[in-house]
Amino acid sequence: MLYRSLGRTGLEISELALGAARGTEDRAQFIPTLHAIIHAGINFVDTAEGYGDSEEALGEALVGHDDVIVETKHCPYESYAVGAKFVGTGEKLTAAAEQSLRRLRRDRLDILLGHGLRTVESLDRFMNDGCYDAMVKLREQGKVRFLGISELSEGDGTHEVLKKAVPSGAFDVVMLTINFLLQTAIDAVVPLCREHGVGTVVMMPLNQASRESGLVSLPAATECVRRHIAEGNLPAEPPYTEAELFDFLKPYSIPEAGLRFVLKQDVSACCVGMRTVERLEENLKAVAPPYMDEARYARLIELFGRIQQQVR
Q: Which residues contact 164 (CB under 8 A, 6 or more apart)?
A: 120, 123
Neighbours of 246 (CB within 10 A): 21
Q: Where are the domains of the chain?
A: 3-207+267-278
pLDDT in tens, the chain (312 residues): 999 999 999 999 999 999 999 888 889 999 999 999 999 999 999 999 999 999 999 999 999 999 999 999 999 999 999 999 999 999 999 999 999 999 999 999 999 999 999 999 999 999 999 999 999 999 999 999 999 999 999 999 999 999 999 999 999 999 999 999 999 999 999 999 999 999 999 999 999 888 999 999 999 999 999 999 999 999 999 999 999 999 999 999 999 999 999 999 999 999 999 999 999 999 999 999 999 999 999 999 999 999 999 998
Residue 23 is predicted with a pLDDT of 86
Q: SS3 for the chain, per residue?
A: CCEEECHHHCCEEECEEEECCCCCCCHHHHHHHHHHHHHCCCCEEECCCCCCCHHHHHHHHCCCCCCCEEEEEECCECCCCCCCCECCCHHHHHHHHHHHHHHHCCCCEEEEEEEEECCHHHHHHHHHCCHHHHHHHHHHCCCEEEEEEEECCCCCCCCHHHHHHHHHCCCCEEEEECECCECCHHHHCHHHHHHHCCEEEEECECECCCCCCCCCCHHHHHHHHHHHHHHCCCCCCCCCCCCCCCHHHCCCCHHHHHHHHHHCCCCCEEEECCCCHHHHHHHHCCCCCCCCCHHHHHHHHHHHCCCCCCCC
Cis peptide before 238 (omega within 30 of 0): no
pLDDT at 209: 82
Q: Domain spanning 3-207+267-278 has what CATH number?
A: 3.20.20.100
What is the reported pLDDT for 192?
Answer: 98
User: What does the alpha-carbon distance between residue 234 and residue 230 come to, in Å, rounded to a whole number?
Assistant: 8
